[in-house]
């Protein structure tokens, strides 16, 4: 009996311990449990405060030819399938000629749940009129982000001054929510880092260095891992300023036919912490499933 008897002191100590535990929030009791992160999570695009899915669907493979060749019905199925998997970020550009395809595909979907990014090439004479055309083609009242597309020189901002000014005005009028640039080459990328004008960067990222920015602009250059540190340096400087970063060329412009290359690149994109979101050009639902599976697995490891 002496061995099993509970003293008043032990009783009150045990009771206090239990009561204290009962008052703790459930997260404290299960602190070791991590919240599962997925490709379909809504993430914040830098300090813009704008939400988008971690994975975006690109519509510009081979300048949009791959997606256009699906036809309207096939393209609609692809967009709707992506949306059902939580992919709410749709990436397009004037050069892709997919605005009207997207307009048909998103009919009936809640606009406020979509993140639509398009891009304006060069320096058109009347950029605000071009933006109005984009909205008509896409069937939307506003655009989430508009990028100055395909910047290649160190003075691209001077060359495109009227576009930058017009995007400022469009943002003030709430025609667009944020503005930015997609660069091709380190001279343009370096200048983009310097410019406080930029809200959002679309940056070419993959660990193999395939089609990422190099010291001179050359679209056909395959690139290599030696150019990656320069790109990472710029992206880290962008992030330090609170810029929104979206990674592209995750599949090496479609060059990564080997599954191991796709796995390596997606793991890099998810583990490096360089990008808020990534965009991949898809031609089939199977490709969407594969990307989601690889992203989810990589996120579970980080």
Average pLDDT, stretch 243-266? 97
Please report the pLDDT score of residue 226 as a whole number: 82
Average of per-residue pLDDT values in the chain: 90
Q: How many angstroms separate the Cα of 8 from the Cα of each of 5, 18, 26, 119, 186?
A: 10, 15, 29, 74, 74
Please report the pLDDT score of residue 169 as a whole number: 98
| Helices marked H in the chain | 8-23, 26-29, 65-68, 71-84, 99-105, 127-138, 156-159, 161-172, 186-194, 228-240, 259-271, 285-301
At 10, is the pLDDT very low, low, confident or very high (cuts 50, 70, 90)? very low
pTM to 2 decimals?
0.88
For 281, the 3-state DSSP assignment is strand
**Per residue in 87-126, pLDDT tens?**
999 999 999 999 999 999 999 999 999 999 999 999 999 9
As a whole number of Å, the end-to-end CA separation of the chain is 53
Burial of 62 (0-12, 13-18, 19+ CB in 10 A): middle
Angle between helices 285-301 and 259-271 (to 10 degrees): 50
User: Is residue 24's pLDDT more than 60?
Assistant: no
| Helix, strand and coil percent figures for the chain, each rounded to 5 | 45, 15, 35
User: Is residue 20's pLDDT more than 70?
Assistant: no
Please report the pLDDT score of residue 18 as a whole number: 38
**Per residue in 207-234, pLDDT tens?**
999 999 998 776 555 566 788 999 999 9
User: Is residue 170's pLDDT more than 70?
Assistant: yes
Domains of the chain: 42-301 (3.20.20.100)
Average pLDDT, stretch 17-35? 46
Phi/psi of residue 192, nearest 5 degrees: -60, -40
- Count of CB atoms situated within 10 Å of the CB of 65: 12
């Amino acid at each position: 009996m002496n061995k099993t008897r509970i003293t008043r002191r032990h009783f009150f100590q045990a009771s206090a311990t239990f009561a204290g535990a009962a008052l703790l929030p459930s997260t404290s009791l299960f602190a070791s449990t991590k919240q599962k992160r997925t490709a379909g999570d809504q993430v914040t695009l830098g300090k813009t405060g704008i939400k988008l899915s971690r994975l975006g669907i690109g519509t510009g493979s081979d300048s949009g030819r791959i997606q256009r060749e699906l036809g309207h019905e096939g393209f609609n199925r692809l967009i709707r399938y992506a949306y059902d998997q939580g992919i709410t970020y749709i990436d397009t550009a004037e050069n892709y000629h997919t605005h009207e395809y997207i307009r048909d595909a998103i009919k009936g979907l809640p606009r406020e749940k979509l993140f639509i990014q398009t891009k304006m090439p060069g320096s058109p004479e009347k950029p605000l009129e071009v933006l109005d055309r984009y909205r008509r083609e896409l069937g939307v009242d506003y655009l989430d982000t508009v990028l100055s597309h395909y910047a290649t020189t160190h003075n691209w901002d001077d060359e495109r001054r009227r576009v930058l000014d017009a995007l400022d005005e469009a943002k003030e009028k709430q025609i667009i929510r944020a503005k930015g640039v997609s660069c091709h080459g380190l001279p343009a990328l370096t200048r983009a880092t310097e410019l406080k004008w930029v809200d959002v960067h679309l940056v070419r990222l993959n660990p193999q260095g395939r089609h990422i920015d190099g010291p001179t602009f050359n679209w056909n250059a395959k690139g290599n891992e030696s150019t990656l540190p320069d790109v990472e340096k710029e992206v880290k400087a962008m992030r330090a300023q609170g810029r929104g970063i979206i990674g592209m060329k995750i599949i090496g412009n479609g060059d990564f036919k080997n599954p191991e290359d796709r796995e390596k690149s997606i793991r890099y994109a998810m583990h490096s912490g360089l990008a808020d979101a990534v965009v991949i050009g898809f031609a089939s639902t199977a490709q969407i499933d594969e990307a989601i599976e690889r992203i989810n697995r990589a996120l579970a490891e980080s």
